[in-house]
A and B are shown apart, each in its own frame.
Chain A
Amino acid sequence: MSTSHVLLGLLAAGPSHGYDLKRRHDERFPQARPLAYGQVYSTLQRMVRDGLAEVEGSESDGGPERTTYRRTEEGARTLHRWLAEVAPPAPFVANEIFTKVVVALLSGADRAGGAGRQGGDDAPAPDPAAYLHAQRAAHMARMRELTAVKTAPGADLSTVLSADYALSHLDADLRWMADAAQRLDALAQEVQAP
């Protein structure tokens, strides 16, 4: 997970400038550390360098001049690849899963609206439900491995307990994902509200 993925998701709604992106990020992810403006700026520069975003133009409503950025097709493809990518089912991945679900919904908003068609429309639409399904399967596969390890005849207690620790956390992720999946429609409405 990186800042550029989140910015690509925010840019899905249309071109935007650095300060606006920072403000929307901090609003959308209140539990995360607020983005430093310097970090937004350097990430945008890097994204332009890598062809993920490009400069749309500059505006100044009386105040200082601001550069607006837009997402490129390559940027949209990169984002959609990341959104579909299952996280390694280590414990404590819920935060990345949550970010992915919200960014997928943000990124799907412009498609749902049909307006503001821009780069990357040939990429498949992000599908947070399908992503959660795939993530659940990856978590279950890891839980099966851990269960086999700890129930193998002769497994020592420290193996059992360390497997149990990982199993408990994966189980917590799964419960959270099941709840999130049941509430996707409501979350979409909240995230996509103008």
Chain B
Amino acid sequence: MSASPTASAAPLLAARGLHLSHGATPALRGASLTVSAGETVAVTGPSGSGKSSLLHCMSGILRPDSGEVRLDGERLDTLPEERRSALRRTEFGIVFQFGQLVPELTALDNTALPLLLGGARRKEAQETAGAWLERFGVRGQAGLRPGEMSGGQAQRVALARALVTGPRAVFADEPTGALDSLAAEQVMTALVHAVRESGTALLLVTHDARTAAFAEREVTVLDGTVHDPSGRSGPPAAASATGGAAARRTGEDA
């Protein structure tokens, strides 16, 4: 597989046997997924199968009820919230379908924000942010606020912001869900080229096969468990016993 820049033999990210409920609704039922450094993985599955819950647990946004998440072999899920939040800022970049940019800030300030929060000086933060906007083809929109941009432009700014700190992993939840197919393709091309060049891992949640085809590997979430045809994430805990029923649901959203 891809050469890890770290000496550690542990995978970059490993979730094991995650269980999570939202109130009375079970969302994850023994989900396991392993992601190596620099690897791009698509997570597909029907609506409500638990894709977003998995991404939230693996990125440390949510704490699973049980099971564990490791980053470089170290427990992430047991860290206190302020440590997880610091790790999210330095090690991870996170992109959602929409709404993650600060509406009052320009594209440049939005992109520079994670660096400023990390204590960088304003001038340097803005220079780095400008370079990332350039990479994603939205340098010309640097002075615009999110409401003044098209959906595709706002998504490119969000990606620039996700990559600006040089994270080890980018988590993207339906990043092209609100875009038409041409805009989606441009955003995905820019994202995949950027993570490949910087050796950043990508966990990409999508219901769209054409988007999933940008990743090297596909895993499918069904009823809160992960089916990984590569076998690298271990057997799907609970659902493997039921065989047919879970395996029967192959694909993604219709």
Contact = CB atoms under 8 A, between A and B. Distances in A.
Given A129-B247, A143-B212, A171-B210, 14 more contacts: A130-B247, A133-B247, A133-B250, A136-B250, A139-B209, A144-B216, A146-B213, A151-B185, A171-B209, A174-B252, A175-B254, A178-B253, A181-B249, A181-B250
Contacts of A76: none
Given A151-B189, A175-B251, A140 B218 contact: yes
Given A137-B229, A143-B209, A151-B189, A129 B250 contact: yes
B192 interface: yes
Interface string B176-204: 00000000010001001100000000000
Interface of A: 129-130, 132-133, 136-137, 139-140, 143-144, 146-147, 151, 167, 170-171, 174-175, 177-179, 181-182, 184-185
A140 B212 contact: yes
Task: Name the residue among B193, B209, B212, B218 with the largest chain A CB count within 10 angstroms.
Answer: B209
A143 B217 CA distance: 12
Interface of B: 46, 185, 189, 192-193, 209-210, 212-216, 218, 229, 244, 247-254
A185 B253 CA distance: 18
B248 A185 contact: yes
19 contacts: A133-B250, A136-B251, A137-B218, A140-B218, A143-B209, A143-B210, A143-B213, A144-B216, A151-B192, A151-B193, A174-B209, A175-B209, A177-B251, A178-B251, A178-B252, A181-B250, A182-B46, A184-B248, A185-B248
A133 B253 CA distance: 15
Contacts of B189: 151
Nearest to A184: B248
Contact of B250 (A167, A170, A177): A177
Main secondary structure of the interface of B (DSSP, over half): loop
A137 B189 CA distance: 22
Nearest to A128: B248
Contacts of B250: 129, 132-133, 136, 177-178, 181
B214 A147 contact: yes
B248 A178 contact: no
Nearest to B45: A178
A143 to B, nearest CB: 4
Contacts of A137: 218, 229
Q: Which 4 A-B pairs have the closest CB atoms?
A: A178-B251, A143-B213, A181-B250, A129-B248
B122 to A, nearest CB: 34
B215 to A, nearest CB: 8
Given A178-B250, A178-B251, A129 B210 contact: no
A121 B238 CA distance: 30
Nearest to A147: B213
Contacts of B249: 181-182
A181 B209 contact: no
